Amino acid sequence: MKTLSDAFEHTLQDIYYAENALTKALPKVHKAANGKELKAAIADHLEETKNQVKTLDKVFKSLGKKPSGVKCDAIEGLIKETEGIIEEASGVAKNVALIAACQAVEHYEIARYGTLREWAKVLGHSEAHDLLTSILDQEKAANSKLTNLAVSSINKK
Ligand code: FE
Ligand code: ZN
Ligand code: FE
Ligand code: FE
């Protein structure tokens, strides 16, 4: 990695790996979560995540590159931590801890997409910039939804 363009491509591959890993991890989180509202929020974001993979395919295509991933240690760690909660937490602690774990993932994604879309912009990849911004907005909305769920009802239980 020597240039901004290299860093951009590497980080795009990193988030591509992460989104694919999340499509496999979220069904387990969905199964573990309790209550209609939280389950629905997770199910919705799973569908969004599958679409994000498709949007990333378009980003690669707009750059004339084949979609590919490189292992993201950060998402592997966050998923591992979440799996620990699924195994160990019970009662009311389970839902609050699962929301916290999901929000850690959303914050990671927000950081990545914020960086990527700005790099796309300075590199002159305007289509990639717009596509990455659309995913960033979804991640921010998913995070806000989880905050609202936690603050308005689940924390109080
Ligand atoms: Fe995502
Ligand atoms: Zn990553
Ligand atoms: Fe990474
Ligand atoms: Fe997300």
Give the pLDDT mean for 72-82: 98
pTM over 0.75: yes
The residues placing their C-beta within 5 Å of ligand 1, an ion, are 49, 52, 109
- Domain covering 4-156, topology: Ferritin (1.20.1260)
Structure confidence by residue, pLDDT tens digits, 21-43:
999 999 999 999 999 999 999 99
Domain ranges of the chain: 4-156
CA of 150 to the centre of ligand 2 (A): 25
| Secondary structure element (H or E) that encloses residue 71, with its range | none
Give the mean pLDDT of 105-133: 98
Cα 94 → chain centroid: 20
Q: How far is the CA of 107 from the centre of ligand 2 (A)?
A: 11
Q: What is the mean pLDDT of the chain?
A: 96
| CA-based torsion, 129, 63, 135, 18: positive or negative | negative
Which two tokens mark 123?
Answer: 């590199």
- Tokens representing 33? 């979560």
Distance 21 CA to ligand 4 centre (A): 11
